Structure 1
Amino acid sequence: MRKLLLSLSAIVLFVSTSFAQGAEQAAGSPLSSILMLVVFFAIFWFLLIRPQQKKNKELRKMLSELSKGDEVVTNGGMVGKIAKVDETFVDLEVADNVTVKIQRNAVANILPKGATKA
C-alpha cells in the first residue's frame, strides 16, 4: 500500500512539473479565441438549435391543421379519429360511441386516411 501511495505521489509530482513547464508558452491572440467561440457557436447552432426549431415549426403547423375526421396517434399511443376540434381540446373517437377528450398538444402524428380500419 505504501509503495502505491509513493508511486502515485511521484506521478502527481511529475505531472504538475510538466504542466508548470508548459505554462511558460505565450498565449494566442484574443482574436483567435473569439473566432474559436464563434465557430463553436455556429456548429452548435446548426447541429442542435436549428433542427429543433424546424421540428417545432412542423409540429405547430400540424396541430393547427387538425380537423374533424383526421385519424391521429397521441403521445400516449392512443389511436383514434377526431370527432370534434376546439381551441385547446380534441374529442377523439377511439371506438364506436367512445370518445375521449384530450389536449390538442397531445396529438403526436396524423395517420393516413383509413389507417385505423385495419
Structure 2
Amino acid sequence: MTLLQAPAAADAPSSTTAFLVQTAPLVLIFVVFWVLMIRPQQKRMRDHRALIDAVKKGDKVVTGGGLIGRVTRVTDGEVEVELGPNMRVTALKGTLSDVIDPKAKPAND
C-alpha cells in the first residue's frame, strides 16, 4: 500500500449518518413551514369559527357575498339577516365572513 491510498472503510460515513444528513434539511424546512404558515392559519380559522359560532341576535354581520345586515334570528346552522326595512334573507352560518364590532371606529374617520 502506498501513502496516497487510504483504507476505504475509514473514510466512508455509515449509511445511518448519511441518511440523517440528507433528511435533516427537509425536516428543518417542514418545521419552519409549519411554524410560519400552517400554525397561524389554523389559529385564524379557529378564531373565525368561534366568532361565527358566537353570533347572536342584533349583531351586525357581513355575508360571503358582501351584504351587510343585522341578525334578527339565529337557528342551528342558519341566521336571518335584515338587510333593510322589511328585507330579510336567510344565510348559512358558514357563509358569514365577519361580525362587525359596534364599538369599532370606521377606517375613514
TM-score (norm 2): 0.75
Corresponding position of 1:78: 67
User: Deviation above 6 Å: which 4+ runs of structure 1?
Assistant: none
Written as runs of structure 1 = structure 2, the 5 A alignment for 1:1-118 is 29-113=18-102
Q: Is the 8 A contact 2:56 2:74 kept in 1?
A: yes
Q: Which amino acid aligns with 1:54?
A: K
More helix by share: 1
The whole-number CA distance in structure 1 between the counterparts of 2:19 and 2:102 is: 59
Percent of residue pairs identical: 33
Deviations 1:79-101 (A, max 9, x none): 00000011111100000111000
CA drift of 1:46 comes to 1.2
Q: Which amino acid aligns with 1:49?
A: I
Deviations 1:46-103 (A, max 9, x none): 1221111001100111011100000011111000000001111110000011100011
What stretches of structure 1 of length at least 5 have no aligned partner? 1-25
TM-score (norm 1): 0.69
Over the aligned positions, Cα root-mean-square deviation in angstroms equals 2.1
Q: Which amino acid aligns with 2:62?
A: V
The whole-number CA distance in structure 1 between the counterparts of 2:37 and 2:57 is: 35
What stretches of structure 2 of length at least 5 have no aligned partner? 1-11, 105-109
